């Protein structure tokens, strides 16, 4: 064996063309989906208290556009577990919307900013979901009927949206800093994004 040859065990990032997913990316997307599903299931006994918003925000901050691969997989699994009903259609645009807003503000590091954003998202979650109910109502009975259906559905769930907002705010305030710092270290040591 050549003594001059140095062994370098440090893994270098894979070189790839823009837009192509690597094995590392696919693994990361799978882990994101698993974390979203496990956390959702773990808190399912609490009404409108969930960690999905928290994780979508943090995953977007750290892994940027890759969250847009994880969200459809998460939504599909939700449909397979709980059935493909009206709520499922709203998940197809509500969660990507949160990721998009988080992506726009991804440089932000303030716990207050993310707590308020998460809380506002929780407060308007029902309103955003009401859009699909309004669309179905409009197809069935015209625009006025659709707007009425969406409005009634939204107002009926306002108490739950308030609980959702409070839960999102509290969870973000408590978990953001420790999880953010842990993820920052993990990403710096183990994740290469070329």
Task: Render pLDDT for 45-101 as a digit per residue (tens, 0 to 9).
Answer: 999 999 999 999 999 999 999 999 999 999 999 999 999 998 999 999 999 999 999
pLDDT at 16: 52
H or E element, residue 65: none
Residue 181: inside a domain, yes or no? yes
H or E element, residue 5: none
Residue 33: inside a domain, yes or no? yes
DSSP 135-178: HHHHHHH-HHHHHHHHHHHHHHTHHHHHHHHHHHHHHHHHHHHH
Residue 36: inside a domain, yes or no? yes
Residue 2: inside a domain, yes or no? no
Number of domains within the chain: 1
Q: Give CA torsion, residues 103, 159, 40, 30, to 10 deg.
A: -20
Range of the domain at 178: 23-190
Quick check: 184 pLDDT over 60?
yes
Quick check: 30 pLDDT over 50?
yes
Quick check: 7 pLDDT over 60?
no
Are 129 and 94 within 8 A, CB to CB?
yes
Q: Could you tell me which residue, 3 or 160, shows the higher pLDDT?
A: 160
Residue 54: inside a domain, yes or no? yes
Residue 16: inside a domain, yes or no? no
**Does pTM top 0.85 for this prediction?**
yes
Residue 37: inside a domain, yes or no? yes
Residue 53: inside a domain, yes or no? yes
pLDDT at 9: 43
Q: Report how far residue 152's alpha carbon sits from residue 156's, in angstroms, rounded to the nearest whole number.
A: 6
Tokens of 129: 């979901």
């Amino acid at each position: 064996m050549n003594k001059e040859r140095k062994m370098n065990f440090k893994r270098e990032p894979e070189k790839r063309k823009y837009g192509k997913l690597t094995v590392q990316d696919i693994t990361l997307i799978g882990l994101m989906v698993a974390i979203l599903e496990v956390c959702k299931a773990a808190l399912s006994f609490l009404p409108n208290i969930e960690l999905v918003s928290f994780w979508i925000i943090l995953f977007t901050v750290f892994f940027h556009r890759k969250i847009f691969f994880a969200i459809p997989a998460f939504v599909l699994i939700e449909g397979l577990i709980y059935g493909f009903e009206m709520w499922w259609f709203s998940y197809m645009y509500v969660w990507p919307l949160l990721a998009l807003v988080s992506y726009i503000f991804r440089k932000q590091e303030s716990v207050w900013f993310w707590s308020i954003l998460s809380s506002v998202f929780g407060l308007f979650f029902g309103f955003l979901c009401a859009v699909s109910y309004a669309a179905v109502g409009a197809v069935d009975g015209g625009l006025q009927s659709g707007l009425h259906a969406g409005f009634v559905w939204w107002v009926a769930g306002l108490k739950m949206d308030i609980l959702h907002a409070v839960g999102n705010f509290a969870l973000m305030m408590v978990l953001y800093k420790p999880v953010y710092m842990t993820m920052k270290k993990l990403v710096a040591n183990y994740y290469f994004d070329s």
